[in-house]
A and B are shown apart, each in its own frame.
Chain A
Amino acid sequence: MFQRIWSLIIKELLASARDPQTRWVVLFSPPFLLVIYAFAITQEISSVTLGVHTQDRGVEARELISRFEGSTTFEEILYLRRDADITAAIDSRSVDLVLRIGPDFSRQLERGEPANVQLILDGRASNAAQILAGYSGRIVQDFNEDQATALGVPTLTKVVTRVWYNPNLDPLWSAVPALFAVLTAIVGFMVSALSIARERELGTFEQLLVSPLRPTEILIGKAVPALMIALASATAMLILGWLVLDVPLRGSLLLLYASMIIYLAAIIGIGLFISSLAATQQQAVIGLFIYMMPAVLLSGYATPVANMPDWLQALNESNPIMHFIVISKAVYMKDAPAELFFHHTWPMAVIAVVTLTAGAWLFRRRVS
């Protein structure tokens, strides 16, 4: 029995290694994509143009503007003469935001009265707008505190921010662990979902079914090589993340690999299940995408799971990608406790057992 499974494993690995398509798509492209995506999705805002429209020539107004000028965030400052220019500048995207200071600003401050400044943002780029609002708010806050000190008014509450686990809020540090989880899933999905459908299309699957191989043996012989390939690809991504992207890995590698094997078992189980339903590779790919799109979108990769409605969160418990993103982030950014691993691995183990069993059962059924 072991010899039969062994032969199948060797065959699968050889076939993947000798097929240039599999080699490139599966083995080499994910690490490559990791690097590309990591830079593409970075949330840092750079080369920002600030528009300034001021009707106040007072000292305070000039002081505030010079603080904006001094910030490294704003690469270029565009002075807008008329009120009407603001709309045109925002519309044509020649500025990303506009700081607008009314005629009474300096006078009111001098009198010790509260004064307003307006910040106009471009809501079409909502994410950037939010970040820029944050930056600008901090500049204004610093300005405020200094003004208060100058007037001899004590600042009542001062916010002191410390970001744990990612002290510089480096966006790569949170993007890479999530991407790592998603790309590992894609490799596992592709290898497993195509494997049975391809054999069925070529007619070799019948050859396997009439051989002494039992359905469980076929299943193991299909799942193990897929696991090995996905693990190899994942390892390449880990090394790249560490060496090229400079993202530190703080947690236990042992626990990461242990949970990754369970994660991949669940992923491959789903892939093989889809594959045994499909009659052709094309059907398998379509089936895979129907599953993968929502699974990735709901995984917490793009938006926080905690913001989703309760029923969707409950549904998400059956999404292995969601579980592994939690584990991956935890391992990358902090030394996560073993309970967290356990809490997120057992649902994946259940998914693996269910889908792998269903896959083996379907092998026997779906012979046309």
Chain B
Amino acid sequence: MPGPLIQIDQLSKRFDKGALAALDSVTAHVNAGEVTGLVGPDGAGKTTLLRLIAGLLVPSTGKITVNGLDPVTDSGAVHRIVSYMPQRFGLYEDLSVQENLTLYADLRSVLGSDREEAFERLLGFTGLAPFTNRLAGALSGGMKQKLGLACALIKKPDLLLLDEPSVGVDPISRRELWRMVYELVDQGIGVVWSTAYLDEAEQCARVLLLNEGALLYAGSPQDLTDRVAGRTYQIRHIDTDRREVLSEATKLATVIDGVIQGSRVRLVMAEGADPPNLAPLNAGLAAEISQIPPRFEDAFMDLIGGGFRATSPFADREDSAAHTMNQVVEARALTRRFGDFTAADKISFEVGRGEIFGLIGPNGAGKSTTFKMLCGLLQPSEGSARVVGLDLQNAPSKARGRIGYMAQKFSLYGDLSVQQNLDFFAGVYGLTGKSRKDAISQMIETFGFADRLDVNAMGLPLGYKQRLALACAVMHDPDVLFLDEPTSGVDPRTRREFWTHINAMVANGVTIMVTTHFLDEAEYCDRMALIYRSKMIASGSPDELKDRARASGMMDPTLEDAFIALVEQSDREREAA
């Protein structure tokens, strides 16, 4: 057997002197003819490593060889055998699909009959053949990634580097991308697939698990998952509040990690520990606990020493008298048109007090449009959106003072310090005097900002940015909290911490509206609406949606399976009509 395709030896990269290393003495290898997952949260060093392999960055110390070649000194030779698809692939949005392909063929000097052959092969491979005349900018997220992949494959490489190819791609397109990558692997190409989604690790032959620049694990995902074999349990038939059961369970020293999965609670136990006794968890009489197969994420949490365990200080917060409405959010035949295009079509639902309601769906399906109409950022063309009994679009500013909003990219002021951001949002939400002081100091205490008050928001680690964004959104104790893709790209531990706070707020009667394309996150929802092609094609609790997938013959569907089944069913119905 020939040696590995990529050999990485004691590799470190620092961008600034004295700054934390983006990569810290990583030693690893990548084999040809298999998918190597480069797995880790945002800021773990995935992109840095890919760029080092592609010869776009120079290592601070250590060495990389690709097929025996040094990417920096032999860059020409390395570029001939490596294709690199950056996070936002360099597609020219004002050129058509065909023009983009032609351009990359020119750049790679693929000419004559080779070129015709490559186009035919790639258009067939990606399913883009019917769309050759469409502008790249008008493609959906999934199709853009497929076109990006096609452009990267114009000349068949020995090594394909994919930087987060599944970001912004809905579950269906994501499955297709994986299918395409497996085909490439069968042809002997080595593929490096970087991702922040731990569930994707399970599809790789080998994974390199990165966290904060350090390599935590290298090897087959199954070997890592096996480390927690026999230690993963699920509590079912909970007839009390599952969020409180989770909160109680994670207080136990023997519980390493816990998450909510629809109406159930999933736990990872410490090595040698017995499953917890259900009685003290107050899960109700019908509740039962059983062992379930482990996931890669369970093993990851075990590896980093478990999830977030502290209880949220929000749990102790006085229940304010304000959270008393019953129908807190109400969408009635909500419709929005942009020119000829209907982005949201007669969407109706109601959300009660203390509920977590999710809007899920593929990108561009209309979930963001619906979300924006609900929080008053977009005027509906028809229908009405009412929050706390008021139409936010025309409501007085007082009504807006009763909602909180946390945007996707943690909309903070990067040049302002933590303290200044808190001061600003307190002021904007009309907090004065003592209530202002109390709110700010409570946030500082809750989220542990005390020793970072003077740090610019821009310079905070991702997890802290998210905490600060949440702090700014809830400081004024809103009735409804709108969360737009709240934990995308965040590491699992921070995500658990985030949901611990959210669950505590819900217990106090705060209503949560959340959009997400991350279906593990949707498991936290009490109910959700699935929006597809501008219409709400299903709604209900996670278990209800899974039941509908079961009805179509699936054994133990995940929420993602349910999602795909429902979307495919909707496609069939539409074609039949």
Q: Does A212 contact B (CB under 8 A)?
A: yes
CB distance from B11 to the nearest CB of A (A): 33
Q: Does A11 contact B (CB under 8 A)?
A: yes
Q: Does B137 contact A (CB under 8 A)?
A: no
Pick from B23-31, B169-177, B313-321, B422-430 the stretch touching chain A: B422-430
Chain B contact-residue range equals: 20 to 34
CB distance from B379 to the nearest CB of A (A): 8
Q: B377 near A206 (CB under 8 angstroms)?
A: yes
Q: A10 near B405 (CB under 8 angstroms)?
A: no
CB distance from B246 to the nearest CB of A (A): 30
CB distance from B124 to the nearest CB of A (A): 35
B388-421, CB under 8 A of A: which get 1 and which 0? 0000000001101101010111011111100010
Most chain B CB atoms below 10 A, which of A3, A7, A212: A212
Q: When A8-B428, A19-B415, A210-B376 are in contact, do A203 and B400 touch as well, CB less than 8 Å?
A: no
* Complexed CA–CA distance, A214 and B400 (Å): 10
Question: Given the complex, which residues of A lie within 8 Å of B407, measured CB to CB?
Answer: 203-204, 206-207
Q: Does A202 contact B (CB under 8 A)?
A: yes
Q: When A4-B430, A7-B427, A211-B400 are in contact, do A204 and B412 touch as well, CB less than 8 Å?
A: yes
List 30 A–B pairs whose Cβ atoms lie within 8 Å, in order of A's numbering: A3-B432, A6-B427, A7-B424, A7-B426, A8-B428, A10-B423, A11-B413, A14-B415, A15-B415, A18-B416, A19-B415, A202-B411, A203-B407, A203-B408, A203-B411, A204-B411, A207-B405, A207-B407, A209-B376, A210-B377, A210-B400, A210-B403, A211-B401, A211-B405, A211-B428, A212-B398, A212-B429, A213-B397, A214-B397, A367-B372
Q: B376 near A14 (CB under 8 angstroms)?
A: no
Question: Given the complex, which residues of A lie within 8 Å of B409, measured CB to CB?
Answer: 202-203
Beyond known contacts A6-B427, A14-B415, A207-B405: 6 more, CB 8 A cutoff: A7-B426, A203-B407, A204-B412, A209-B377, A210-B376, A212-B398
The B-contacting residues of A in range 1-43, CB under 8 angstroms, are 3-4, 6-8, 10-11, 14-15, 18-19
Q: Does A208 contact B (CB under 8 A)?
A: yes
The B-contacting residues of A in range 190-220, CB under 8 angstroms, are 202-204, 206-214, 217
* Complexed CA–CA distance, A207 and B468 (Å): 14
* Complexed CA–CA distance, A4 and B415 (Å): 20
Chain B contact residues, CB within 8 Å of chain A: 372, 375-378, 397-398, 400-401, 403, 405, 407-409, 411-416, 420, 423-430, 432, 456, 472, 482
**A side interface size, CB within 8 A:** 25
Write the chain B residue with the least CB distance to A211. B428
Q: B415 near A367 (CB under 8 angstroms)?
A: no
Question: Given the complex, which residues of B lie within 8 Å of A10, measured CB to CB?
Answer: 423-424, 427
Q: B405 near A11 (CB under 8 angstroms)?
A: no
CB distance from A136 to the nearest CB of B (A): 59
Question: Given the complex, which residues of B lie within 8 Å of A367, measured CB to CB?
Answer: 372, 377-378
CB distance from B508 to the nearest CB of A (A): 21
Question: Given the complex, which residues of B lie within 8 Å of A206, measured CB to CB?
Answer: 377, 405, 407, 411
Chain A contact residues, CB within 8 Å of chain B: 3-4, 6-8, 10-11, 14-15, 18-19, 202-204, 206-214, 217, 367
Write the chain A residue with the least CB distance to B401. A212
User: When the two chains form the complex, which single residue of B408, B412, B428 contacts A212, counting CB atoms closer than 8 Å?
Assistant: B428
* Complexed CA–CA distance, A7 and B430 (Å): 9
Question: Given the complex, which residues of A lie within 8 Å of B413, measured CB to CB?
Answer: 11, 15, 204
Write the chain B residue with the least CB distance to A215. B397
Q: B400 near A212 (CB under 8 angstroms)?
A: yes
* Complexed CA–CA distance, A3 and B401 (Å): 14
Q: B456 near A18 (CB under 8 angstroms)?
A: yes
Write the chain A residue with the least CB distance to B472. A207
Most chain B CB atoms below 10 A, which of A7, A202, A210, A217: A210
Question: Given the complex, which residues of B lie within 8 Å of A6, measured CB to CB?
Answer: 427
CB distance from A198 to the nearest CB of B (A): 10
* Complexed CA–CA distance, A210 and B430 (Å): 13
Question: Given the complex, which residues of B lie within 8 Å of A203, measured CB to CB?
Answer: 407-409, 411
Q: B403 near A14 (CB under 8 angstroms)?
A: no
Q: A202 near B414 (CB under 8 angstroms)?
A: yes
Question: Given the complex, which residues of A lie within 8 Å of B408, measured CB to CB?
Answer: 203
Most chain A CB atoms below 10 A, which of B377, B401, B432: B377
* Complexed CA–CA distance, A232 and B171 (Å): 54
Most chain A CB atoms below 10 A, which of B397, B401, B482: B397
* Complexed CA–CA distance, A214 and B397 (Å): 6
Q: A212 near B430 (CB under 8 angstroms)?
A: yes
Question: Given the complex, which residues of A lie within 8 Å of B426, measured CB to CB?
Answer: 7
* Complexed CA–CA distance, A204 and B413 (Å): 7
* Complexed CA–CA distance, A15 and B262 (Å): 43
Q: B482 near A7 (CB under 8 angstroms)?
A: no
